[in-house]
Amino acid sequence: MNPPMIWLSSPHLSGEEQKYIADAFQRGQLFAWGDNVNAFEQDLESYLGSGFHVAAMNSGTSAIHLCLLLLNVQPGDIVLCQSFTFAASANPVVYLGATPVFIDSEPDTWGMSPEYLEQAIQYYNGQNKKPKAIIAAHLYGTPYKSDEINTVAAKYGIPVLEDSAEALGSFYKGRKCGTLADISVLSFNGNKIITASSGGAVVSASPEVKKRAVFLASQAKDPAPHYQHSEIGYNYRISNICAGIGRGQMEVLENRIALRRENHAFYKSLFKDISFVTVYETPGEDFYSNYWLTTITVNDAAEKKSAFGLMEWLASNFIESRPLWKPLHMQPVFKKNAYFGTDVAETLFNTGLCLPSGSNLSTNEKERITQAVHQWLVLKQ
């Protein structure tokens, strides 16, 4: 019999979720508003700290779309996007008829390169086409160089959208990810650090932005007894059931961060004597990662060991691992889009791997991973 699959990052329930779901049923609140939605938003607001306002959405992707609407991105506009990220960071730019232009990463955090960002801005300003927004993403829980990105953005007067889908619980210079830009996005997809089964959020320091995000996300209904609309609306609010799951997960967020960080320590120790495997680590005290996923890079031509080889070997042992994000400028769907940078993101894609990192990873599963990695090290591939 095959052993059970070890997953990359699967939902890890607290057991409290059902209480809030039952509550929604009891109150008959089976719609995209209600007590769970309000309370989930409050939980997030108290976590992120006073002064931040949260509008919960049905996905991180819809939250990004709404943020771009709030930043007034229009057809024909240029939006500068980190290339090395999940496609959902940039797809909503295309929903709006605007064009994503991709920027390479810098090697310390794997986040957007401030130098190539500035180069791109200067290029488009020279063409009299000032970019409308910047989308930077924290990858695998590690904060990007937020001050440097914000400094470049401010110099040219371009707003920054912070994609913090992977970084709830991470800190940059003591400040929480999700509060580091003009507007920010969280995700509660099933594979994220905490889940609502599906969900996302728009975070802003302005109560007006929250109000407007909720208005647009609830079909843009004008105040009138009949259905009256002066603007195009969206059906993007989170379901009251999903928000109940989110509430149950918020109760254990700190614990989940601690467990993901323990996974990272486990892999550090597993690979500590292997010279050609580097477990990614944050570059210094300014960066505190929730280590949503532990990632490695593998560099050994002589031994013919590769990240891809390890992935295949783990798969044959019923252990899921995944390559790092394929840079968006290399994706078929974006092959005509402009790109500023060199090969930082591309090299990471070619040499990197995400390892099983769920907060529910058991001791037994860690033993299976240890054994499989030890076998791989002596394997003739």
Ligand X SMILES: *Cc1c(COP(=O)(O)O)cnc(C)c1O
- Report d(CA 14, CA 303) in Å as an integer: 43
β strands within the chain, DSSP E: 53-57, 78-82, 99-103, 133-137, 160-163, 171-172, 175-176, 183-187, 200-204, 277-279, 287-288, 294-298, 339-340, 352-355
Size of residue set near ligand X by CB under 6 A = 14
Tell me which stretch binds ligand X (CB under 6 A): 37-45, 53-61, 263-271, 314-322: 53-61
Chain residues 135-154 in contact with ligand X, contact rule CB under 6 A: 137
Is position 184 an interface residue for ligand X (rule: CB under 6 A)? no
Distance CA 271, CA 277 (A): 7
Among 29, 36, 83, 85, the residue binding ligand X under the rule CB under 6 A is 85
Contacting residue, 20, 52, 84, 86, with ligand X by CB under 6 A: 86
If the CB atoms of residues 239 and 306 are measured against ligand X, the closer one turns out to be 239
Contacting range for ligand X; rule: CB under 6 A; set: 12-20, 25-33, 56-64, 70-78: 56-64
Show the CA angle centred on residue 165, arms to residues 163 and 167, nearest 5°.
95
Among 9, 61, 109, 282, binds ligand X (CB under 6 A): 61
Other CB atoms within 10 Å distance of the CB of residue 341: 24
Identify the H or E element spanning 269. helix 253-270
Measure the CA–CA gap between 118 and 46, rounded to whole angstroms: 35
Among 88, 98, 152, 353, binds ligand X (CB under 6 A): 88
Residue 134 per-residue DSSP state = E
Taking the least distance from each CB to ligand X, the nearer of 101 and 201 is 201
Please, what is the minimum distance in Å from the beta carbon of residue 216 to ligand X? 17
* 59 counts as binding ligand X under rule CB under 6 A: yes
Shortest gap between Cβ of 118 and ligand X (angstroms)?
Answer: 22
Count CA within 13 A, CB hemisphere, residue 222.
8
- How many other CB atoms sit within 10 Å of the CB of residue 86? 19
Q: Is 67 or 361 the residue whose CB approaches ligand X more closely?
A: 67
CA angle 18, 234, 34 (to 5 degrees): 30
Q: Give me the residue whose beta carbon is nearest to ligand X.
A: 60
CB of 331 to ligand X, least distance (A): 14
Looking at the Cβ atoms of 162 and 182, the one nearer to ligand X is 162
Q: Which is nearer to ligand X, 89 or 317 (CB)?
A: 89
Of residues 114, 141, 169, 200, which one binds ligand X by CB under 6 A? 200
What six digits make up the tokens of 208? 């007006």
- Residues contributing to the site for ligand X (CB under 6 A): 59-61, 85-86, 88-89, 137, 163, 165-166, 187, 189, 200
